[in-house]
Structure 1
Amino acid sequence: MRTEDTGPDLRHHGDAEVRDDGAALVDLAVNVRAHTPPDWLREEIAASLSSLAAYPDGRAARAAVAARHGLPVERVLLTAGAAEAFVLLARALKVRRPVVVHPQFTEPEAALRDAGHTVDRVLLRAEDGFRLDPAAVPEDADLVVIGNPTNPTSVLHPAATLARLARPGRTLVVDEAFMDAVPGEREALAGRTDLPGLVVLRSLTKTWGLAGLRIGYVLSAPETITALERAQPLWPVSTPALAAARACVSPHALAEAEQAAARITADRAHLAAGLAGHGIQVAGPPEGPFVLARVPDGAAVRHRLRDLGYAVRRGDTFPGLDANWLRIAVRDQRTVDGFLEALRVALVSARETT
């Protein structure tokens, strides 16, 4: 169904849950890995500050990203975070019927609407496990956007399922911002060159705690990269961000990211088991560094959790979800145990007031 109104607040993001009233909250709302960036990465970024008098030169970082994925540099574009890529796609590509698969990160649809496009939504259903049926995407869609693993559902779609969406005359945008939190990056499409119209987005801000630095990249066919690059301003990525990009795709960093993904897997299982102990199931099975939970009286529980010192991400700003859905970032087991106790109190409080 073609949607003219935006419905939910597409510009609401997790950082607002922590910043709203300035309270000192334990942050389970933002999907950035805790205790990052690591010291070695801070040192790499700090070392770049001596070069700030010169304009940024992205050639080395671009080559490093290309090598990491086994691609020629002509297939790589560095961006100020993956979010910038959505704006570039919306402005640079000539499309007639863009489709965004929801629930997912809302910035792609917001960027498309800001660029004057009318956007169709394909809404995945909880009763289907938020799994994609490629047949649900309109045949005449010439731009399709989907996340993998998807924010906020934490569902990891099979690469073969997503590949069925690719066809000549269509741009298929797969947001893999959280793929490096999946052990082995299974189901990744980054590095594939056999699928027509494929555009893969990656972020380096989540695993490495660089949300304030803004660094990500696009992988696609050279002609698409050229079109997006023309829509960028001059020097879009800062020198410190370029230094971070080079460092974060090094063999050492990739090994550390894989270790972090294994820890996230264990911590996520602990969180899901604790939620189940409160009678709360999560969507999925979850594969990202967060879970999506359906909580009775979710809005009241979320507000009570704030009173108890914990911030979680409201779900009702994602198309296809309502206020009873909460997204919860995976944290270490000690932090999760504190959260689960606060959740017990919040659930009791919500029941007593209804």
Structure 2
Amino acid sequence: MTADEFDLDHHGDLEVGNGLVDLAVNVRAGTPPAWLVEEITASLADLASYPRQDATLAAIATRHGCDPDELLLTSGAAEAFVLIARAFRPKHPVVVHPQFTEPEAALRSAGHLVDRVILRPEDGFVLDPRAVPADADLVVIGNPTNPTSVLHRADDLRELARPDRILVVDEAFMDAVPGEPESLVGASIPGLIVIRSLTKTWGLAGLRIGYVVAAPGLIEQLAAVQPQWPVSTPALAAAIACSNKRALDESAQAALDIDRQRAYLLDGLACTTDATGPGSTYGVARGPFVLVRVEGAVGVREALRERGFAVRRGDTFPGLGPEWLRIAVRPEAVTDGFLKVWRDVLG
């Protein structure tokens, strides 16, 4: 175990095995779509040339209504956390947990002493900006947060901003929220860095493509510690394809589908907010996954694996313990099969 007994390097893909239905990884089912595969395949004819980012930056800038110099393309969102850890020398970095462990792992790997703010299930895992130390000069938070699925209010995140603070908001799952109502992309906030990913909605985890949105000065600092040609030609082509109107319309519909599918999953789990059910949730889930607290979760997870379903253990996230499981949202037919096994396992 690492980092105070939490395995920060454990990710959902380690839960998946041959023949298992994957409810452990938060990549949207049925992706990438055929039209996206065609765009990526067509780009292979240009592999002899070094990657050129201009067209991709222009496409993403148009998608978000920002300038290309406010963008930095990365090899997935994970690279962005490494660049942040290398580019800045904060005296008091703070990571708000429970959340994706890669930001803290990257900071620790770069030699930073990381402080944690732990959000409580009794509070619905909702952020109270006052809980973040006033002297924190780098703050990292996810929105919506993995694994809690909670969507924090943009106004609460704005309260975290300080003239001498870098505020990092991980929006890797924001495009799974209909309308992206709490996104801070384009917000005029001092020190703001927003991280976005194309791997979750479009099924591109193996291709690695994400980007950072920030003020040009911050982008320059991050780019200064990034290797040359960090994003491949196929990944650049995928980013262009995922930024056009067709893709945005499909993504918007997918977010609506995820909303419906998540409600269906929660109804089937018979979860309650007062911790009286066989599996209990806390707060309001808005992401493409749900976090469940269940007695004997370690045994439940193993029993589910024996019956063909992989779910994500929760005890590797700071702030959670062995009684937590994260379950990815899937189409209703898949959820039906899972829920039957879930009920059998819980007796």
Whether TM exceeds 0.5 here: the answer is yes
Mapped to 1, the partners of 2:264 and 2:278 lie a distance apart of 14
Instruction: Provide the TM-score with structure 1 as the length reference.
Output: 0.95
Q: Work out the percentage of aligned pairs sharing the same amino acid.
A: 65
The answer as to whether partners of 1:154 and 1:283 remain within 8 angstroms in 2 is: no
- Out of 14, 17, 26, the residue aligned to residue 16 of structure 1 is 14
- What residue is the counterpart of 2:327 in the other structure? 328
Mapped to 2, the partners of 1:248 and 1:23 lie a distance apart of 30
Q: Give matches, 1:196-215, under 5 Å.
A: 196-215=190-209
Mapped to 1, the partners of 2:342 and 2:292 lie a distance apart of 12
- What residue is the counterpart of 2:128 in the other structure? 133
- What residue is the counterpart of 1:59 in the other structure? 54
- Out of 229, 249, 254, the residue aligned to residue 260 of structure 1 is 254
Amino acid at match of 2:101: T
Q: Give matches, 1:220-235, under 5 Å.
A: 220-235=214-229
Q: Is 1:115 aligned to 2:113, yes or no?
A: no
TM-superposed deviation, 1:345: 1.6
Amino acid at match of 1:185: E
- What is the root-mean-square deviation of aligned Cα atoms in Å? 1.0
Mapped to 1, the partners of 2:282 and 2:313 lie a distance apart of 15
Secondary structure at the aligned position of 2:220 is classed as helix
The answer as to whether partners of 2:167 and 2:192 remain within 8 angstroms in 1 is: yes
Mapped to 2, the partners of 1:155 and 1:239 lie a distance apart of 34
Q: Give matches, 1:264-279, under 5 Å.
A: 264-276=258-270, 279=278
The answer as to whether partners of 2:129 and 2:160 remain within 8 angstroms in 1 is: yes
TM-superposed deviation, 1:280: 2.1
- What residue is the counterpart of 2:32 in the other structure? 37
TM-superposed deviation, 1:344: 1.1
Mapped to 1, the partners of 2:27 and 2:319 lie a distance apart of 24
Q: Give matches, 1:152-231, under 5 Å.
A: 152-192=147-187, 194-231=188-225
Secondary structure at the aligned position of 1:231 is classed as coil
Structure 2: unaligned runs, 5 residues or longer: 272-276
Q: Is 1:283 aligned to 2:277, yes or no?
A: no
Q: CA 1:233 to 1:126, structure 2 compared with 1: closer, same or farther past 3 Å?
A: same
Q: Is 1:89 aligned to 2:89, yes or no?
A: no
Instruction: Provide the TM-score with structure 2 as the length reference.
Output: 0.97
Secondary structure at the aligned position of 1:207 is classed as helix
Secondary structure at the aligned position of 1:121 is classed as strand
Amino acid at match of 1:230: A
Mapped to 1, the partners of 2:24 and 2:98 lie a distance apart of 17
Mapped to 1, the partners of 2:314 and 2:204 lie a distance apart of 24
Pairs aligned (count): 341
Spell out, residue by residue over 1:13-38, the C-alpha distance to the aligned partner (whole angstroms, 9 max, x if none): 000000xxx43100000000010000
The answer as to whether partners of 2:123 and 2:283 remain within 8 angstroms in 1 is: no
TM-superposed deviation, 1:6: 3.2
The answer as to whether partners of 1:155 and 1:283 remain within 8 angstroms in 2 is: no
Mapped to 1, the partners of 2:215 and 2:110 lie a distance apart of 23
The answer as to whether partners of 1:112 and 1:119 remain within 8 angstroms in 2 is: yes
TM-superposed deviation, 1:112: 0.1
The answer as to whether partners of 1:134 and 1:164 remain within 8 angstroms in 2 is: yes
Structure 1: unaligned runs, 5 residues or longer: 349-354
Off by >6 Å, runs of 4+ in structure 1: none
Mapped to 1, the partners of 2:282 and 2:181 lie a distance apart of 19
The answer as to whether partners of 1:283 and 1:291 remain within 8 angstroms in 2 is: no
Spell out, residue by residue over 1:230-269, the C-alpha distance to the aligned partner (whole angstroms, 9 max, x if none): 1111100000000000111111101100000000000000
TM-superposed deviation, 1:5: 4.0
